[in-house]
């Protein structure tokens, strides 16, 4: 019965994405990573989970079979991820990096910033939601910092509201 709830949740999520007509701007590298992940999930992980379900089913009574329940839950989560990837890929718009400009901050720009208050410098690349990875210095275009920087030019100061309060960041350099 829990699987029905997962399916309704998935259906509502996909319906919401379609209604919002979300366009996922990304680099070609990010698009290829999503395609590789989708292929891995469909060709390797899905068969593994199907085998685990079959093995658990062979053990008998399904009403008290924790292995079966766990495998079915894993299958539901996997299918949700596959569907999310497919939706993102279907709505993806690959940005031609050769046409990017550096006169103002935009997606796929590397932005060097200085905290006006303490002088600390930081560099972020603004990327799509699916490419974000803070360890690599890549922040999602949907984050408050990226949203506050979009359209700013070198020398501009962006007043950005973050969970800790307001922060003033000066744009020091914009590159690709």
User: pLDDT tens, 128-145?
Assistant: 888 899 999 999 999 999
Closest CA relative to residue 68, chosen from 77, 58, 78: 58
Q: Which of 46-50, 160-164, 171-175 has the lowest mean pLDDT?
A: 160-164
CATH (one of 1.10.287.180, 1.20.120.160, 3.40.50.12780, 2.60.120.620) for 2-94 = 1.10.287.180
Confidence at residue 149, expressed as pLDDT on a 0 to 100 scale: 95
Give the CATH fold of the 97-175 domain.
Chitinase A; domain 3 (3.10.50)
Between residues 65 and 10, the one the model is more confident about: 65
Query: Other C-beta atoms within 10 Å of 71: how many?
Result: 21
pLDDT of residue 19 exceeding 60, the answer is no
Q: How far apart, in whole angstroms, are the C-alpha atoms of residue 54 and residue 4?
A: 20
Task: Tell me the average pLDDT across 147-176.
Answer: 93
Confidence at residue 26, expressed as pLDDT on a 0 to 100 scale: 86
pLDDT of residue 172 exceeding 90, the answer is yes
Query: Do residues 101 and 118 make contact, with C-beta atoms less than 8 angstroms apart?
Result: no
Q: To 10 degrees, the CA torsion angle through 56, 62, 63, 68? A: 30
Residues of the chain with CATH 3.10.50.30: 97-175
Confidence at residue 22, expressed as pLDDT on a 0 to 100 scale: 54
pLDDT of residue 6 exceeding 70, the answer is no
| Angle (deg, nearest 10), helices 46-57 and 66-90 | 160
Q: How far apart, in whole angstroms, are the C-alpha atoms of residue 57 and residue 115?
A: 58
Confidence at residue 97, expressed as pLDDT on a 0 to 100 scale: 82
Q: How far apart, in whole angstroms, are the C-alpha atoms of residue 75 and residue 5?
A: 14
Q: How far apart, in whole angstroms, are the C-alpha atoms of residue 109 and residue 123?
A: 10
pLDDT of residue 105 exceeding 90, the answer is yes
Confidence at residue 7, expressed as pLDDT on a 0 to 100 scale: 41
Residues of the chain with CATH 1.10.287.180: 2-94
Confidence at residue 67, expressed as pLDDT on a 0 to 100 scale: 85
Q: How far apart, in whole angstroms, are the C-alpha atoms of residue 115 and residue 158?
A: 10
Confidence at residue 21, expressed as pLDDT on a 0 to 100 scale: 45
Q: Which of 9-23, 26-40, 108-122 has the lowest mean pLDDT?
A: 9-23
Residue 5: pLDDT band with limits 50, 70, 90:
very low
């Amino acid at each position: 019965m829990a699987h029905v709830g997962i399916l309704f949740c998935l259906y509502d999520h996909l319906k919401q994405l379609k209604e919002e007509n979300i366009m996922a701007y990304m680099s070609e590298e990010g698009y290829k990573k999503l395609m590789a992940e989708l292929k891995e999930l469909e060709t390797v992980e899905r068969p593994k989970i199907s085998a685990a379900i079959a093995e658990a089913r062979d053990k008998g009574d399904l009403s008290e079979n924790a292995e079966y329940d766990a495998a079915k839950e894993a299958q539901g989560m996997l299918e949700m991820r596959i569907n999310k990837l497919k939706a993102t890929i279907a709505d993806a718009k690959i940005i031609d990096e050769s046409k990017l400009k550096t006169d103002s901050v935009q997606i796929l720009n590397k932005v060097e910033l200085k905290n006006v208050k303490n002088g600390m410098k930081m560099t972020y690349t603004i990327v799509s939601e699916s490419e974000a990875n803070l360890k690599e210095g890549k922040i999602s275009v949907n984050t408050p910092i990226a949203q506050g920087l979009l359209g700013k030019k070198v020398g501009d100061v962006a007043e950005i509201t973050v969970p800790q309060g307001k922060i003033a960041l000066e744009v020091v350099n914009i590159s690709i």
